[in-house]
Structure 1
Amino acid sequence: MSARAPRRRLVRRLFLGQLMVILVGAGTLGAVAFLVAPPIFHDHIRRAVGPVSDVVAHHLDQALSETLLLALTIGILAAAAAATGVSWLLATRIALPVEELSRTADALAAGRLGERAPHPSAEDELADLTDAFNGMADVLEHTETTRRRLLADLAHELRTPLATIEAYHEGLADGVVEADADTVATLQDATGRLQRLVEDLSLVSSAEEGRLTYDLRPIELAELVGAAVDAVAPAARERGLHLETRTPGVPVIVEGDRDRLAQVLANLLRNALEHTSDDGSITASVTSTPDQAIVVISDTGVGIAPEHLPHVFERFFRADPSRRHVTGSGIGLTISRAIVQGHGGELTAHSDGPDTGASFTMRLPAATGP
C-alpha cells in the first residue's frame, strides 16, 4: 500500500496543476474581456448611431454584459471540460511509467530480481529512464547470480580439502590411520590446495582492483611460450596429447612481467589440458602485428557453448557443473584476464560450440623501440 499512495498523489498533483492552469486562464480571459470589450463596444455605437440617451446606453451595456457573461461562461465551461479530460489523460500517461518504475523497484527490493519495467509507448526521456533502470536491474541480477554461484562453488572448493583433513585427523586420533609418509603427503596436498585457493583469491582481488605491481622488462614472447609448453609436456605425453608450438622466425618482444605472463600461459595451458580428451591436440602459436603481440592457445577439447562464452572468465565458472574433478582453484582464467589487462592487453575466448575445441587469445602491446 505504501508504494501505491505516492503514485496516486503524483497523478492528482499533475491533474491539479493542469486544473490550476485552466482556472487561471479562465479568470484572465474573463477579466480581459470585461475590461477591453465595453470601450470598443461604446466606440462602435457612437460611430454607428451617434449619441444615445442614458436609458439606451444602460440597456446596451446590460446587453453587452449579459452576452459576454453567457458566452464566456459557456466557452470557459466547454474549454474547461475538454482541457480537464486532456489533462487527466496526460497526467495518467506521464504517471504510468513512473508507477511501473516504482512497482519494479519495490519488486527488486523484495528480492524478485527478474522483474523489469515495461517500455513506455512514447520514445521520450521516460523511455530512456526506463531503459537505464532495466539495464541497472540486469546488472544487479547478474551480480547476484554470480555471487550465489561464487559462494556455492567456494564452499565446494573448501569442502573437499577440509573433508580430507578432517577424515585423516579422525583416523589418526582413532589409530586407524598410520602417520606415515603417504598420510603426510595427503595432508600436505589438502592444505596446499587450501593455501593455493586463498592465494588465488587474494591475487585475483588485487589484480582486478589494480593493486598488483608489475616488473616490466623486455620479454621475447616466443621463448616464454616455449618454456610454458615444455613445462606441461610431460603431462601431455602421459595422456597421449599432441602438443605443438608455432612461433615466427623473428623475435616478438613485449614489455611485461615475466613471472606474471608465465602464470597466464601456465593457466591457459592447464585449462586446455583439463578440457581436452586423451589423444587430442593442443597448439600454442605466437604471431605479431606492428602494434600487437598475439598468443593463441587452442585445443580440440570439449568446446564451449555460445551461452557460456561470456562467463568463462568469471570466478569459479564452470560450463559443466558436473566437472568438479578438475584441478585448480577455479579462478585461473579470472586471474589470467586481470593480469593481461594489467599489461594493457586483452584475453578473449572463442569456440564454435560443444565438442569443437576452444581457443584463448592473448593480445599484448608490442614493445616500442629502444
Structure 2
Amino acid sequence: MRRHRLSGQITLSMSVVVAIAVLMVFVGTFIFYSIYMTWFPPPPGPPPLLPEAPDFILIAIFLLLGLAIAIHAALRLTRRILAPLNSLAEGARKIAAGDLTARAVAGDRSLGETAQLVDDFNAMARRLEDAAESMTSWNAAIAHELRTPLTILRGRLQGLTDGVFEPSDELFRSLLVQVENLSRLVDDLRVVTLSDSQRLDMRVEPTDLANEVAQAVDAMRPALEGAGFSIRMTTEPVTLPCDGPRIRQALLALLENARRYATPGMIVIRMTLETFEVAIAVEDEGPGLSAEFAARAFDAFVRAEPSRSRQFGGSGLGLSVVRAIAEAHGGHARYSTSEKGGSVFEIVFPIDGASADSNAASCAPKV
C-alpha cells in the first residue's frame, strides 16, 4: 500500500479535477439556463438542435473555470512532490562537495514513495559518514601500530650505522622480531580489510579439523608453557570443506590472545560436534572480559588492556582476524564466560561446509 501511495494520490487528484470540471460545465450550464429561461422565456417553437454562439461562450467560460481549479490543484500537488525532491537534490550536491553531514527533509510524509526515497537517501548518507569516520580511525590506528616497530627498527639500525650498537646475534634477533611483528600486522590488516569488503580468498578443500587444531596447539605450546600455562585438548574426528591454514591462523590468534591476557593456568582447547555446526573453543581461567568490552571484543584495534598489549606486541587485530576467518567460512565467532569466570572464545562453522567460496563443493562431515 505504501508503495502505491504517491501514484494513488496523483490519480485521485486528477480524477477529482476532471470530475469537478465536468460537473461545472454540465451543472453550471443547467443552472444558468434554468435561471435564464425563467427571466427570459424562449420564443414559441422547437428549440435549436445545435448549440448556438452564446452556448459555446458559456461552455468555454465554465471550462476555463475548471482549468483554473485544475491548475491550482496541480500546483499544490507539485509543490508537495517537489519539496522533498529539491531537498534530496540539495543534499546530494552537498555530499558530492564533501559535506557528509548533509541530510534531506521528507516534508509531507503522506507521499509514501518520496518519503521512502528521502529516508533511503539519509540512510545512505549516514553510512557514508560512518564509513568516512571509520576510515579516519583506521588510518590513525594503523599509523599508531606501525610507528612503534618502525621507530625501534630505525633507532637500532641508526645505532648500528653510528657505531652505538655492536653487531650481535641478539641484536639481529631483536630486529628480526620487529620485522616479524610488522609482517604479522600487515597480514592481519589484509585479512580484516578483505573480509570487510567480502573479498577474502579462501582455498576450500576437505580438511581434517582435528589435525589443524593439533598443529596450531603444537606451534603455540612452547610459548604457552613458557608463560606458565598448561594445555588440555579435546578434539573430534571430523572432516569439513574449509581453508585449513586459515583455521590454524584463527586458532593461533586465540591462543596468542590467551597468552597475553589470561592468568597463567589451564587452557582448554575443545572441539564440539553438533547437529548443524562444529565449534572450536579456547577456554582460560580468567580474568575474563567486562560486559562492556565483551560486546566489542572482536572489533579491530580494540584492547582490554593496552599496556599489556604493548608489552607483548599486540595490535588489537587478533580477534578481528578470528571473526573475519569464521565469517568467511559462513560461520561466526563468539565470546562467553566460563563457569570458573574465565574467557571462552569460540569459532563456529556450519556443518554443511558453507563458505564464502561459491565454487567450493559442500559435503557432509566424515566422522
How high is the sequence identity, in percent, across the aligned residues?
27
Partner residue in 1 for 2:270: 285
SS at match of 1:178: coil
Residue identity matched to 1:101: L
Residue identity matched to 1:317: F
Partner residue in 1 for 2:212: 224
- 1:209 matched to 2:199: yes
- 1:318 matched to 2:302: yes
Contact conserved, 2:298 with 2:323, CA < 8 A, in 1? no
- 1:253 matched to 2:239: yes
Structure whose CA Rg is larger: 1
Contact conserved, 1:253 with 1:293, CA < 8 A, in 2? no
What is the CA-CA distance between 1:266 and the residue it aligns to? 0.8
CA distance in 2, matches of 1:312, 1:130: 33
CA distance in 2, matches of 1:195, 1:369: 35
Residue identity matched to 1:286: M
Unaligned runs of 5+ in 1: 1-17
- 1:359 matched to 2:349: no
SS at match of 1:95: helix
- 1:128 matched to 2:84: no
CA distance in 2, matches of 1:180, 1:364: 50
- 1:296 matched to 2:281: yes
Residue identity matched to 1:148: T
Residue identity matched to 2:250: V
1:66-85 paired onto structure 2 within 5 Å = 68=58, 72=61, 76-77=64-65, 83-85=70-72
TM-score, length-scaled by structure 2: 0.68
Contact conserved, 2:88 with 2:104, CA < 8 A, in 1? yes
CA distance in 1, matches of 2:240, 2:292: 32
Residue identity matched to 1:96: A
Contact conserved, 2:210 with 2:238, CA < 8 A, in 1? yes
CA distance in 1, matches of 2:71, 2:111: 25
Give the direction of change, closer, same or farther, for the CA distance of 1:123–1:292 in structure 2 (3 Å limit). Answer: farther
TM-score, length-scaled by structure 1: 0.67
Partner residue in 2 for 1:94: 81
SS at match of 1:348: strand
1:1-370 paired onto structure 2 within 5 Å = 50-51=44-45, 68=58, 72=61, 76-77=64-65, 83-120=70-107, 121-122=109-110, 124-202=112-190, 208-214=198-204, 216-219=205-208, 221-241=209-229, 243-247=231-235, 251-276=237-262, 278-279=263-264, 282-299=267-284, 300-303=286-289, 309=295, 312-313=298-299, 316-319=300-303, 322=306, 325=310, 327-328=313-314, 330-342=316-328, 344-350=329-335, 357=343, 359-366=345-352, 367-368=363-364
CA distance in 2, matches of 1:351, 1:115: 40
Give the direction of change, closer, same or farther, for the CA distance of 1:100–1:274 in structure 2 (3 Å limit). Answer: farther
Contact conserved, 2:192 with 2:324, CA < 8 A, in 1? yes
Residue identity matched to 1:91: T
What is the CA-CA distance between 1:167 and the residue it aligns to? 1.0
Deviations 1:198-220 (Å, cap 9, x if unpaired)?
44445556674244434x2340x
> What value does the CA root-mean-square deviation take over the aligned residues?
4.6
Unaligned runs of 5+ in 2: 1-12, 353-362
Contact conserved, 1:218 with 1:253, CA < 8 A, in 2? yes
How many residue pairs end up in the alignment? 325
